[in-house]
Structure 1
Amino acid sequence: MDGALQVDKKMLMALAGAARLLSNPPGQIPPGALAGERVSRQQGRGLNFDSLRRYQPGDDVRLIDWQATARLRAPWIRMYNEERERPVFLIVDQRLDMFFATRGQTKSVAAAKIAALLAWRSWHDGDRIGSAVFSDTEYSLQKCRSPAKNLPAVLDDVLTYNQQLPERYPTETSASVSLSSVLQHASRLIPSGAWVALLSDFHDLDAGSEALLAALKRRCEISAFVILDDLHLTLPAQGNLAARYQGHEAAFSLSPGLKDEIQQSITVRLGQQKNRLTRLGIRVNHIVVAQDLIKQLQKGV
């Protein structure tokens, strides 16, 4: 099997060590960190109830426990500990549009590897993990559970959907699953305060997707990993090229002028895509499939 076209279980398991090289997800408190050592970007309180104690002058009146106060006939306040765990939810695109590369590995392989790295990072941190992995015709959802219980299921879904692509590619199955539909189904399973990693080329990012992402962003932190092939930056100045997409084939002669047009068109599209996501408050990371994934993730996670 060619590792540039699809992943295998051994490959995903081998990424466990490399995941330690990644930073914690945005807002995550590093294991062993002291309270107050890092400013949390947790949505909401980010605290767990610990105990009750008598009210003292200067305490925040918003912390008064009115039921305990009424029962004990004296003011008592609720004490909290800082929440150190953040659920992680992975949304992984394994559609036919991702089965593409001009060199190195396909976008689908890069997305599968990144998903595995982030899943293993959750394992090391002890964070609950869930996922939505999808193809053109189906999807699989995993609720956020402890990594000990859920890591195998998440990796199996990534592996299954990734390995289907080489067999499905020649038939070019009509797409019935969109980014918007997956977001709609996955959002119901994503707990408030979670970190959501969305891995796709975002070729069908539309108004519906943006509305769902905006609603999700109000209660979660979201990072978009835009997986791309940098063909537009590596085109030769001239020559004969052939292309095939969804049953349509074309052959053309590449001139310096046409090369510049292609490069500008793709650069503008990527820029507009990034602006649309950034306006929603989503952190955007461009991942080039032919470059070192770990180094790119270290810059962006």
Structure 2
Amino acid sequence: MENPLTIDRNTLMALAGEAKLLSNPPGQISPGALAGERVSRQQGRGLNFDSLRRYQAGDDVRLIDWQATARLRTPWIRLYNEERERPVFIVVDQRLDMFFATRGQTKSAVAAKIAGLLAWRSWHDGDRLGSAVFSDTNYTLQKCRPPASNLNLMLDDLLAYNQQLAQQYPAEPATTLSLASVLQHARQLIPAGSWVAVISDFHDLDAQSEALLAALRRRSEVSAFVILDDLHRRLPSSGNLAARYRGHEAAFSLSGVLRDEIQQSITTRLGAQEKKLTRLGIRVNQIVVTQDLIRQMQRGL
């Protein structure tokens, strides 16, 4: 049975098989990327050699391999692969605001699993993989490299940052890294034409982070995975509730009117957040922690 609070290495490794259930590519091909399938067989020069085949009527005579033709005494031509590369860069929020759940897994655990699934999808596709994993006080960057080089490094980062949350709770840092500051550090490592996945609850989406996301979108495809706990959809009609956030505590009696106001406030906030991201040209995928993760990602991708 999975730990609802954190992830472990076995969980991350088991995602390899589930990642095959996701669509490929995950997200739209960006304006900066090459069109078509990422690997297509072309008859041309200056590309990567793939194989030889017998000459057929209508083939370009410039493609004839004269050494093979002389050796085999029949015309043979060279076939080439044109590589369509689409690097993948994954930004993963593992701050204390993500260490929350009313049921099911924490937002931080679900975010780590999404990142693991996308990383394994890149492994299967052979895409270059880069990442930025961050907490309230630190971040680790991995520049885009072949997945054989970067997959284990990224999984190690996910594991370390995710498990730190349980150790830090309920202590709360005086200051915390913002989404904008992490995007600022990460953007110079993101190649043009990449697919960028930002996995967070986006609670601190502000003008600076919007500007950085807009700049990224001009040169890459960007998808936002907004992680949600659905408490606001399941509030009781009445009763006594208590809440604590960053040193502030409150207890109150929940009435039907107050319940409706809370639901409306959260729905409005999430709608405004989605509108901001969509206006930037970012594909928004709202992920509810209590619902089937693979199905939600299949719909979103």
- TM-score by structure 1 length? 0.83
1:175 alignment partner in structure 2: 175
1:50-90: per-residue Cα shift (whole Å, max 9, x none)?
Answer: 637xxxxxxxxxxxxxxxxxxxxxxxxxxx97542211000
Partner amino acid, structure 2, of 1:167: Q
1:7-60: per-residue Cα shift (whole Å, max 9, x none)?
Answer: 0111110111000000013567xxxxxxxxxxx5442555999637xxxxxxxx
Runs of 4+ in 1 over 6 A off after TM superposition: 47-50
1:32-111 superposed matches below 5 A: 41-45=30-34, 51=45, 83-111=83-111
- Give the secondary-structure state (helix, strand or coil) at the position aligned to 2:290: coil
1:141 paired to 2:130? no
1:1-301 superposed matches below 5 A: 3-26=3-26, 41-45=30-34, 51=45, 83-301=83-301
Give structure 2 stretches of 5+ with no counterpart. 47-79
CA distance in 1, matches of 2:25, 2:138: 28
Q: Is the 8 A contact 2:34 2:85 kept in 1?
A: no
CA distance 1:205–1:27, change in 2 (3 Å): closer
* Displacement of 1:176: 3.1
Partner amino acid, structure 2, of 1:87: P
Aligned pair count reads 263
Partner amino acid, structure 1, of 2:209: S
CA distance in 2, matches of 1:283, 1:263: 24
- Give the secondary-structure state (helix, strand or coil) at the position aligned to 2:170: helix
* Displacement of 1:144: 0.5
- Give the secondary-structure state (helix, strand or coil) at the position aligned to 1:294: helix
CA distance in 1, matches of 2:270, 2:144: 31
CA distance in 2, matches of 1:188, 1:41: 18
- Give the secondary-structure state (helix, strand or coil) at the position aligned to 1:204: coil
CA distance in 2, matches of 1:99, 1:51: 53
Partner amino acid, structure 1, of 2:45: S
Partner amino acid, structure 1, of 2:32: Q
| Structure showing greater Rg | 2
- Give the secondary-structure state (helix, strand or coil) at the position aligned to 2:116: helix
1:64 alignment partner in structure 2: none
* Displacement of 1:174: 2.4
1:240-274: per-residue Cα shift (whole Å, max 9, x none)?
Answer: 11111111111111111010000000000000000
CA distance in 1, matches of 2:33, 2:18: 32
Q: Is the 8 A contact 2:224 2:282 kept in 1?
A: yes
Q: Is the 8 A contact 2:30 2:195 kept in 1?
A: no
CA distance in 1, matches of 2:258, 2:87: 47
CA distance in 2, matches of 1:136, 1:222: 23
* Displacement of 1:3: 1.2
CA distance in 1, matches of 2:115, 2:249: 32
CA distance in 1, matches of 2:225, 2:113: 12
Q: Is the 8 A contact 1:93 1:134 kept in 2?
A: yes
- Give the secondary-structure state (helix, strand or coil) at the position aligned to 1:188: helix
Q: Is the 8 A contact 1:238 1:254 kept in 2?
A: yes
CA distance in 1, matches of 2:149, 2:33: 27
Give structure 1 stretches of 5+ with no counterpart. 29-39, 53-79
CA distance in 2, matches of 1:232, 1:27: 29
Q: Which stretch shifts more, 142-151 or 168-177?
A: 168-177
CA distance in 2, matches of 1:82, 1:187: 27
* Displacement of 1:285: 0.4
CA distance 1:219–1:135, change in 2 (3 Å): same
